[in-house]
Amino acid sequence: MVEARSLNSRARTSPGDALADVIQRLFPQECAATTHQRPRSYVFHQGSPVDVVHLVVRGTLVLERIDEEGRTVMFGTQPVGTLLGWQDLLDGHVHRSSCQSICASDLITIPTERFESALRESEDLLLKLMQQAAIQTNYYEEHIFRLSTLDVPERLYRTLWTLAGSPELEGEVIEVETPLMKRDIAALVGTSPESLSRGLQRLSRLKVAEFTDKNTFRLLPNNKMDIK
């Protein structure tokens, strides 16, 4: 069995690290101190003005949006190295989603005036932001595809696989510790907590995935596609 691992440790090797290097070079004063977020606290709220942008340097954060009927949808975890808020800044200066810190997190906070000035002058910053946007677009396209073509148990299994980092290990049981609650995973899957529980029961009966406790789940890689 592979030892249970933390989502935060995997995030430290994210593709956004190159962007973090550019941010640290352009904003040394802001990078000298970080803003701490308590677990289950909000960095910003849907509909609020974009006054600063944030670089994630530690922790697990999620973007979430509430529709007119009060339903919450999450758009996946935001890994270390991700810059938050800059797209909303360029598209109306209003946050389209809320950002919640699932566990204790640290952020570098950059005032929008400083960021916009650097963006006009730095080709490196513009390039790294374009790369981050491309990665996020590919992720969101895959997420939409799952929502429109897969049933809840299969969406759930693929979501758990994504949270596990999609390791390619043959014949091993994989355990992953996560700060996400089941209601958070339901929002990531795009379903209700009740439907999530039924989907989890099905995966457990098929012996492809199960929660060992409220913060750890287990996956069987060899059964990755055998859940229909």
Quick: pLDDT tens for 132-153.
Answer: 999 888 888 887 888 889 999 9
Q: Which residue has the tokens 């002058």?
A: 121
CB-count exposure of residue 91 (10 Å: 0-12, 13-18, 19+): exposed
What pLDDT is recorded for position 93?
Answer: 95
Domain encompassing residue 117: 11-148
User: How many other C-beta atoms lie within 10 A of the C-beta of residue 134?
Assistant: 11
**Could you give the number of structural domains in the chain?**
2
β pairing state of 52-58 and 61-66: unpaired
Is 210 contained in some domain? yes
pLDDT of residue 132: 92
Nearest by Cα to 224 from 158, 144, 163: 158
Tally the C-alpha atoms within 13 A of residue 170's C-alpha that lie toward its C-beta. 0
- Please report the pLDDT score of residue 170 as a whole number: 54
pTM, 2 dp: 0.76
Q: Is 199 in the same domain as 117? A: no
- Give the pLDDT confidence score for residue 8 in this predicted structure: 45
CA-CA distances (angstroms) from residue 37 to 19, 45, 59, 63, 96?
A: 21, 14, 9, 15, 20
Name the stretches of the chain with pLDDT < 50: 1-16
33 and 85, same domain (yes or no): yes
Q: Classify residue 175 by its DSSP letter.
A: E
pLDDT of 144: 83
Look over the chain and give the mean of its residue pLDDT values, rounded to a whole number.
85
